[in-house]
Structure 1
């Protein structure tokens, strides 16, 4: 639907104006900085598309997708009906350029699944564990879309499309499945929400909480009612259409009853943590006040060399920015840079990157997306601006770290299908690669001598715990794969810059990340989740001693040492947002630095499965005690996920035996017709399928759950069909085929009827595109009897390159009654061509050329006007800039502007319509306290030529019910080529007209009704109703005949009209409704009665 709306809007930009009020077309741009040469390979169920040298990444995805599909199929008891196309981008920057969906993709988006063609689209970030998780997550959406909607065309006209999955169900199940039930990050979010009272009922869940609380809800259903109920929920949703009835039918309770059960269980689970652990503000000084100051994200603290200031990322001002805060009290002392407003600073990568100071404290280094490339910027405090920009040919540059000698900046970056460490030599302007392997190397931190780095990596480490199904050791989902390739299990390492030798550090078990070397070089602080929560730890580099220095309820995300080594600034998740804290007591906490394991780490939340069906863990049978050896605790590792022993999930085999695998044996190659996948066997890039059943060593500690579902599957019993590509080769490699453009339907709808009097009638809409979205066709028809009486539009758009082009044709027949009640008709048809060239996300140049034909016919016998045929050629060249931030009812921050040149010429010498014009529109928005906003607009235009274009001022955009028309509006040149300029409230449509105009609008917007419930006489709930007070001042005049004021009958305005008043705006979800009450004034008199208007659409 988004694609359909976009195409209609694009077409409307270049359509001639009609008599309804218009608004100027703005909007940001999706920039194609590069062209992609796509290929694809096929597996049993997937067509996996990739480009450049990404075959190894695509091959990795084959194993992940096929094995994940087996798990999802078992969980939902469903087999897909059609093949699933998958598109893999080599970086997030490339991913943001996709045409598969038209909307802009935010930096925090890890992937998406498009519903019409069921396409999975994901970027590769450098972390194979993140990649595995996103692939599995998006695959759950593809499977459930297939389950709910089947083929898009048939579903569009069937009742089942009315079931709209709530976000908590869609994303909750996706997280549940891709995280194999539960994980420590989800545990942190739901714990924080439960303890701080912002858990939301399912009908009110939205945003990120819908993912994590939704995951908890899905797990609760699976644990209490059985995992087989998950598939039943989707099946029953197709029948019962509402979530309330679906839950009642599936698990016997409605939404409200389910919410009471679930919320009580979460309180029972997490409230005891209050007595065991501390909030961050209880152990450290809180420096930022998220939520209170309008921010939600205060991250990546970096101490200045003097220790008096800390640089951080914050979203306090809507745009992500770098600010300096006082290390003493957290007050903002300087605003450095803001992103998301210009091509130089499109993004600061604040979620994953960092900030680093020069040793002398005069500059900071940070990473930005600039002009489509990754760049390292240096900001000079003495000059108050960025003084150095180094654009690099790498992707996903992270964690810049300025060396103590001031000569180098270390960073992590993605090149090809691997993320490695690099050095940028500032004076030499050279980049040196430090690591070159398939492991994910991140977070470099310097030792004082500038000759060694400590970093985090998922390369093999002796602390990485192997899977031992007899002892039931928990491991992170996907974090370990025996054989030649381990990934996803992060620990700390040291690299020597002289010989590039990498050695591991023993800092204890767990996922160990974000190292920061102390100023004296003796210690390293880092983040570890070894007790189930991301806490701060400190390890001594000259020994094996390490200990926890925090034991908080939520979790730590980033850290920085003070220059004297006596304090650590860190960011922590707290009450639903991230804040900066200062820890001054750096000493062991817990039991001599050993922390109590969370219940999740103790396995109390886990539901385990065997090949015999569903099982539950008997908690008292599982003993999980920490073994203390001196000051070292052997604690359980990773984001402890439930390890499942199942012939359709993880079947552990000895990696040494993989060499002996041959087709025809019990273990077969990829080419085997088997749906049993072993995720553990990888050697030399070859993924191994397992079709044998293993005994279950967990049987003694498991009890059966009654399983009445059996092992049948809904859906096809045969694999989705291949095209002509053969199966994989015996070596396990795949045949690669070039992508070819093939059009398929995105949307189709409408209906037809035949009447003996009116003949054939009907409406239809069709949208076609190729799988990459580079080619789009839009067709709309409204047939009435014959073709010459019908409405037809057909447009083609080509978006593969940076410059987007398109062309189309249209035809319509409209009948009108003029002010004298004379009937006439216009047959309006023509062709159009257009192109736009984006310079960045925020600015573009657009060009449109049209040829219009207008055949006017007068139908009344007493109407002596002659029929006429007009042929007019028009063109427009416009420059558009837009960096605004949207609120609920309109823009709230930023600015947007448009300057356009238009012309109309008589190429066929059939009419006298000929004009030139220039129009300017500038708008600026200010946001206060994340609640109030002010909007200012100034616009003007002038037209010249034999028949200059007319500007009509008055009224408001999309005024419901107002049809006031001036007789001259029906003139061909005005009906199709004039501009209707709004708002000028307090006046009717067409109050002013001329070939010159000026308009100024000012509006103050504020919240009015946060939540309103009415029970009688109607059941009505209205939320987030906004209010506004406004003033509009406008004028339109002919040529130079303008007189702004007069002293006749007292000083007053003459050609200028002014309106003022107040209004309300309500976002009803499917439409924005506006109500305005306005008075007109000439600054001497005010109208006796106000003008009221209901209208729809966003505020200007």
Structure 2
């Protein structure tokens, strides 16, 4: 995937730099919510080099890196041929030994989930991907990401700022970006046919003009580009990209480029493509069956608003089914009662606790113990895969299996005698079959080679283990000197093998040109069910061993793909997951032996075309009948140069005049005109290693080099302006980081008027280990004005200049993805110079006078943060967020003030029906003066944060500079003004109901535009701040409603609120006085 969201990081930095409004002493600013990226391992990086690439790998990754080094140059040549562009700069490739290690990368700052199989970030054009045990899949993903890297180089070159500043018209649409990467890496593939058949027959595929997203962007884009190459001719994609990137095409318009290259519009080509999809796939409706035709549908993803119900596992007695589903806010394991045909309990949820940070639900299944009381699953815990044995009713962990030296684990399977669990494990870049003895704790490895062995399942007798593999023959004898030598012979598909529990007698029992995968035994060793796409669609087949020999026959003939069959011990019930109508559901088939079909299934057009290419895949259109068709004008010499895609591009030397007949002009026509001498341009040294001796030794082996920190610019920007009040002003910011993202430097500077009136900060972050460290220097200069009223009635304008500078350091220690401790300390030195004038006459202030105030401080803060929330369009929608802070101001650098402060912030979110959310928040705090000192700290409660139309209670503004600097703000208390309540204690409670308000609002005239996904909320707020007296008399309540719109980089909020007072201004406590209403326009996500 191309990591476009990475530029948000720099946009946020720019936003902060523009205002430099950070209050470096506020605990609320110093401590933030958010989940953690945990470095569970320290990495010792090394790298190989090839002509165009630097391939970085950690300890234990030599084999993977060497594999990549052996193939990347050939990949690059193929990608360059497809895109029409070869790299102009070296590209770093950063590899990780497993997905769990990949999730720890600092190349991008946000947490990565297991659905992300790799990414290419645009600023430094770095490719980052994990090895997930399968060399064929790794090869595909590497080539996919390389396509992104080549296209980044093609469109942006070495301009680091280009991806951030690029306009939307200059960017490739998602379907073209991801579809191109998929098509370049594998052409059109059988494995995606079931998805496109489903999208076509159920009507959710759209024209590329609509810029479809999600998984359809990958597979729909891939198939559309296949259509373009087949219908418009080989090389059309290359020419399309060349025209899009032509400097003459300043808009980089895809529509114009498509019209110029194909002579038809993208809109009409999309219509033809949709017609061809119906031509290809609608005939399948007449020769296939829907899921309900052959089995009972037990889940309904459309009704429960899930996307998937996966990996169903039937209990030994056939009474219950365990499966993964995302029907609620978190992925979870559910138990479905077969007789009642409904879910009866949730066993465990993933993604919200340390023990189950994630499941591999699309790759790894669930297995029952023989007595039906326990389940075994694979979970990610503390940065590694483990096998959890769970109580099938309560979900409690009974046992954790942590096999040593395994980077990844998949597909556990329990033997019917209850003693063993088989699984697929990854070690030293090989994925093999292992068996764990639950009695002795012994681990046995049954296979050991480059082939990808997965989905093991015990036979009923316990003698055999069947599994899927891409091995070309039963036994691969690895060359000790080059264990990767078998890669070129690995199959592009899977076969079914079985091996004895002792590790011998490895034999293939189902194979062919297509996938045979996901085995599941019936009631005895001679009945083995599995999934095959030999007909062009994934269906269930039966292998049966008889006295007369083994045979294979189909059990289902379904329109779209079915997967992961599982049977009861008696073989009378079979469950499987089926992709249909855009989602996955669980189906139950009774008496599967009675469903075996005598004849082979009909073949799809893809299979028939692969067997006989003369059949054709897409039909050519009748060009003359297309409304947008403009024939090639190459034969017309007056137009050939202008719009022929076949015209030869001629490179003209600099300063050479060219006539219309392409002959050189006569430079001797006038003797008085001297020919212009061409300046010699210094050619940049090539970044590429053209001599193999630069990266290989005399024996032809790649030379491994230790990684040295490589700093480079992430982003930089500068601007200059003129203001009537301040005069000239300027802003600049930049960020630097090392290649791995483990170290970064951020710098911002703003100057208003004079050089001594500048603000800025310099921060260094160090992130390679579990504790994250940062240090910072800052300076803030600002001018403010306030109205001061003297008792004699004279009003003065108090002009103040604040100078704040200091330094700080912090350490964040994550315990897991969700929980961390933070310790920070800020030294701050503040100086205010005040100079007032009479508001009426403009004369100098003779009463308050000119004065200088200095406040210095040192603020250490300790905090605990927990956050497992999940986000929607405008804020969290599920989970909880908790924060506890203790802060101490010692009498250091000054001798007047000292206090201790403690506060907490608890937030919870309950999502239902996948679109509504109840949100609740309670915040409380107290600060006390240390004996003998004054406490300047106050809480400020009231209003909404980051508002445009600020409402301020002028009566409660800070009376002293210390109060100004040490005050903490807490929001929202809507219906009230900013600074409505102040004091050394605070309490604030919020309750909200959040709902989708507008799905889409479109205006056609005079300017067409659309607004989508506007969220609404209804809320009640209650809280206040006080120092003494009755707290209830110093609180208020507000009710109201609002609308929220996500505009990309920020959320725009409109809020209307009505305030109710609980007894202030002399009212009796408990007697509510209706106050005025307030409207707020503000920025920022929901709490």
Structure 1 partner of 2:702: 734
- TM-superposition CA deviations, 1:539-589 (whole Å, max 9, x none): 013433001111112101211012221231000111111111112353588
| Residues in 1 aligned to 2:307 and 2:944: alpha-carbon distance in whole angstroms | 36
For the residue of structure 2 that corresponds to 1:264, the secondary structure is helix
Structure 2 partner of 1:828: 804
Correspondence list, 1:57-206, <5 A: 57-153=64-160, 155=162, 163-179=170-186, 181-202=187-208, 203-206=210-213
| Residues in 2 aligned to 1:75 and 1:350: alpha-carbon distance in whole angstroms | 35
1:1055 to 2:1055 alignment:
no
| Residues in 2 aligned to 1:19 and 1:41: alpha-carbon distance in whole angstroms | 47
| Residues in 2 aligned to 1:1097 and 1:99: alpha-carbon distance in whole angstroms | 26
Q: Could you tell me the TM-score, scaled by structure 1's length?
A: 0.84
1:528 to 2:565 alignment:
no
Correspondence list, 1:165-564, <5 A: 165-179=172-186, 181-202=187-208, 203-238=210-245, 239-381=250-392, 385-393=396-404, 394-461=406-473, 485-506=489-510, 508-542=512-546, 543-564=549-570
- TM-superposition CA deviations, 1:940-980 (whole Å, max 9, x none): 00011121421111111222221525363373223332111
- TM-superposition CA deviations, 1:390-416 (whole Å, max 9, x none): 233322211111111111111111112
Structure 2 partner of 1:1012: 1001
Structure 1 partner of 2:743: 775
Query: Contact conserved, 2:1021 with 2:1037, CA < 8 A, in 1?
Result: yes
Query: Contact conserved, 1:827 with 1:854, CA < 8 A, in 2?
Result: yes
- TM-superposition CA deviations, 1:918-958 (whole Å, max 9, x none): 11000011011111110011110001112142111111122
Correspondence list, 1:1071-1082, <5 A: 1071-1082=1050-1061
Structure 2 partner of 1:633: none
Structure 2 partner of 1:568: 574
Measured at CA, do residues 158 and 888 of structure 1 come closer, stay the same or move farther in structure 2, by a change above 3 Å? closer
Query: Contact conserved, 2:555 with 2:597, CA < 8 A, in 1?
Result: no
| Residues in 1 aligned to 2:800 and 2:1057: alpha-carbon distance in whole angstroms | 35
**Matched residue pairs, number?**
979
How many Å apart are 1:723 and its aligned residue? 11
Q: Which runs of 5+ in 2 are unaligned?
A: 1-6, 477-483, 619-643, 653-682, 789-796, 837-843, 1062-1069
How many Å apart are 1:246 and its aligned residue? 4.1
How many Å apart are 1:771 and its aligned residue? 0.6
| Residues in 2 aligned to 1:117 and 1:246: alpha-carbon distance in whole angstroms | 28
| Counterpart pick for 1:788 among 756, 759, 765 | 756
For the residue of structure 2 that corresponds to 1:122, the secondary structure is strand
How many Å apart are 1:619 and its aligned residue? 3.0
How many Å apart are 1:13 and its aligned residue? 13
- TM-superposition CA deviations, 1:461-502 (whole Å, max 9, x none): 3899xxxxxxxxxxxxxxx99887424431111111235342
Measured at CA, do residues 729 and 970 of structure 1 come closer, stay the same or move farther in structure 2, by a change above 3 Å? farther
| Residues in 2 aligned to 1:518 and 1:262: alpha-carbon distance in whole angstroms | 43
| Residues in 2 aligned to 1:713 and 1:81: alpha-carbon distance in whole angstroms | 19
Correspondence list, 1:867-886, <5 A: 867-886=852-871
Structure 1 partner of 2:945: 957
Query: Contact conserved, 1:548 with 1:588, CA < 8 A, in 2?
Result: no
Query: Contact conserved, 1:22 with 1:957, CA < 8 A, in 2?
Result: no
Measured at CA, do residues 451 and 14 of structure 1 come closer, stay the same or move farther in structure 2, by a change above 3 Å? farther
Measured at CA, do residues 545 and 707 of structure 1 come closer, stay the same or move farther in structure 2, by a change above 3 Å? farther
1:809 to 2:816 alignment:
no
Structure 2 partner of 1:1029: 1018
Structure 2 partner of 1:914: 898
Query: Contact conserved, 2:384 with 2:408, CA < 8 A, in 1?
Result: no
> Which structure is richer in relative contact order (CA contacts within 8 A, separation 6 or more)?
1
For the residue of structure 2 that corresponds to 1:519, the secondary structure is coil
| Residues in 2 aligned to 1:96 and 1:804: alpha-carbon distance in whole angstroms | 16
Structure 2 partner of 1:654: none
Query: Contact conserved, 2:860 with 2:888, CA < 8 A, in 1?
Result: yes
Query: Contact conserved, 2:835 with 2:851, CA < 8 A, in 1?
Result: no
| Residues in 1 aligned to 2:428 and 2:525: alpha-carbon distance in whole angstroms | 34
Query: Contact conserved, 2:369 with 2:375, CA < 8 A, in 1?
Result: yes
Query: Contact conserved, 1:507 with 1:546, CA < 8 A, in 2?
Result: no
| Counterpart pick for 2:917 among 933, 945, 956 | 933
Query: Contact conserved, 2:22 with 2:29, CA < 8 A, in 1?
Result: no
For the residue of structure 1 that corresponds to 2:179, the secondary structure is helix
Structure 2 partner of 1:898: 883
Measured at CA, do residues 559 and 382 of structure 1 come closer, stay the same or move farther in structure 2, by a change above 3 Å? closer
| Counterpart pick for 1:864 among 831, 845, 849 | 849
Deviating more after overlay: 1085-1094 vs 989-998: 1085-1094
| Counterpart pick for 2:57 among 50, 53, 58 | 50
Measured at CA, do residues 804 and 10 of structure 1 come closer, stay the same or move farther in structure 2, by a change above 3 Å? farther
For the residue of structure 2 that corresponds to 1:544, the secondary structure is strand
Structure 1 partner of 2:607: 601
- TM-superposition CA deviations, 1:51-105 (whole Å, max 9, x none): 2232221121123321221111111111111011101100000000000111111
For the residue of structure 2 that corresponds to 1:44, the secondary structure is coil
| Residues in 2 aligned to 1:823 and 1:368: alpha-carbon distance in whole angstroms | 61
For the residue of structure 1 that corresponds to 2:89, the secondary structure is coil
| Residues in 1 aligned to 2:20 and 2:356: alpha-carbon distance in whole angstroms | 28
Structure 1 partner of 2:598: 592
- TM-superposition CA deviations, 1:1012-1070 (whole Å, max 9, x none): 112245433111112211100002100x42341xxxxxxxxx32200011112222334
- TM-superposition CA deviations, 1:750-807 (whole Å, max 9, x none): 1347999978742111111111000101111113354421122111000010000010
Measured at CA, do residues 499 and 338 of structure 1 come closer, stay the same or move farther in structure 2, by a change above 3 Å? closer
How many Å apart are 1:157 and its aligned residue? 9.2
| Residues in 1 aligned to 2:899 and 2:606: alpha-carbon distance in whole angstroms | 73
Measured at CA, do residues 535 and 482 of structure 1 come closer, stay the same or move farther in structure 2, by a change above 3 Å? same
For the residue of structure 1 that corresponds to 2:313, the secondary structure is strand
Query: Contact conserved, 2:318 with 2:573, CA < 8 A, in 1?
Result: no
Structure 1 partner of 2:622: none
| Counterpart pick for 1:1002 among 966, 991, 1006 | 991
How many Å apart are 1:291 and its aligned residue? 2.4
| Counterpart pick for 2:1078 among 1074, 1080, 1091 | 1091
Q: Could you tell me the TM-score, scaled by structure 2's length?
A: 0.85
Query: Contact conserved, 1:507 with 1:539, CA < 8 A, in 2?
Result: no
Structure 2 partner of 1:477: none
- TM-superposition CA deviations, 1:580-602 (whole Å, max 9, x none): 11123535889724112111122
| Residues in 1 aligned to 2:1022 and 2:925: alpha-carbon distance in whole angstroms | 15
For the residue of structure 2 that corresponds to 1:214, the secondary structure is helix
For the residue of structure 2 that corresponds to 1:319, the secondary structure is coil
Structure 2 partner of 1:852: 828
How many Å apart are 1:236 and its aligned residue? 4.1
For the residue of structure 1 that corresponds to 2:303, the secondary structure is coil
For the residue of structure 1 that corresponds to 2:759, the secondary structure is strand
- TM-superposition CA deviations, 1:440-476 (whole Å, max 9, x none): 1111111122232111111123899xxxxxxxxxxxx
Measured at CA, do residues 10 and 750 of structure 1 come closer, stay the same or move farther in structure 2, by a change above 3 Å? closer
Query: Contact conserved, 1:16 with 1:977, CA < 8 A, in 2?
Result: no
Structure 2 partner of 1:979: 968
- TM-superposition CA deviations, 1:224-243 (whole Å, max 9, x none): 23343323444444522444
Measured at CA, do residues 61 and 712 of structure 1 come closer, stay the same or move farther in structure 2, by a change above 3 Å? farther
Query: Contact conserved, 1:566 with 1:586, CA < 8 A, in 2?
Result: yes
| Residues in 1 aligned to 2:976 and 2:617: alpha-carbon distance in whole angstroms | 79
Measured at CA, do residues 600 and 162 of structure 1 come closer, stay the same or move farther in structure 2, by a change above 3 Å? same
Query: Contact conserved, 1:439 with 1:487, CA < 8 A, in 2?
Result: no
| Residues in 2 aligned to 1:318 and 1:47: alpha-carbon distance in whole angstroms | 41
